[in-house]
Every structure is written in C-alpha cells, then in structure tokens.
C-alpha cells in the first residue's frame, strides 16, 4: 500500500493550516505531482517524516551526551583493577617479553 493511501485510510481528526508564498506552493504542488499524491497528502507525509527525523536526531543527541558523561565519569573515577585483572595483566606482560 502506498504511503498516500495509508494517509487517506487513517481517521483524520486534526487540521493544520499554513500560509505559503506563491513559490513555495508551486514547489509543493510540483513535488506532489511527481510523487503522484495530492498536495494535502504530500504535505502531511513530508511534515510527518521531517517531524519523526527531528525527534529521532534529538533523542540520539541526548543519548549520546548522556553516554559521553557516563564514559568520562568512568575514566575519571575508574576503580582499581581487581585481583583477576591484575593477574591477567601480569601474564600478558610476561608473554609479551618472549
């Protein structure tokens, strides 16, 4: 099922209005005709795609900043190596000398 068909089948309960310049309207109409959709469906699908992308980019940025803080904190406040890690490091150093 094409995206524009999915939009038409969904129950529409909200309305959104926008003022456009004549050039913007011409571009949107041309793009809608290229896609084979109505202007309304083209605008709704394009705006929804842009909204989902914006939300995704924002959430990833927040997660990346959060992960970066955890990583830096782990480096700055790293615990002392445990007994098993110290033993493994000692074995590695001995083997590396050979």
Q: pLDDT of 30-70, one tens digit each?
A: 999 999 999 999 999 999 999 999 999 998 877 788 888 99
Tokens of 61: 């940025």
Q: Which CATH number fits domain 3-8+18-97: 1.10.10, 1.20.5, 1.10.260, 1.20.1070?
A: 1.20.5
| CB-based contact 29:38 (threshold 8 Å) | no
pTM: 0.56
Every domain of the chain and the residues it spans: 3-8+18-97
For residue 53, give Cα distances in angstroms to 35, 42, 50, 98: 20, 16, 5, 54
Q: pLDDT of 23-35, one tens digit each?
A: 999 999 999 999 9
């Amino acid at each position: 099922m094409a995206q524009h068909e999915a939009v038409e089948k969904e129950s529409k309960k909200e309305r959104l209005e926008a003022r456009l310049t004549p050039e913007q309207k011409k571009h949107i109409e041309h793009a809608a005709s290229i896609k084979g959709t109505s202007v309304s469906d083209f605008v709704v699908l394009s705006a929804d795609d842009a909204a989902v992308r914006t939300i995704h980019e924002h959430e990833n940025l927040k997660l990346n900043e959060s992960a970066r803080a955890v990583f830096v904190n782990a480096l700055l406040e790293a615990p002392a190596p445990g007994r098993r890690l110290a033993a493994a490091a000692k074995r590695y150093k001995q083997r590396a000398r050979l």
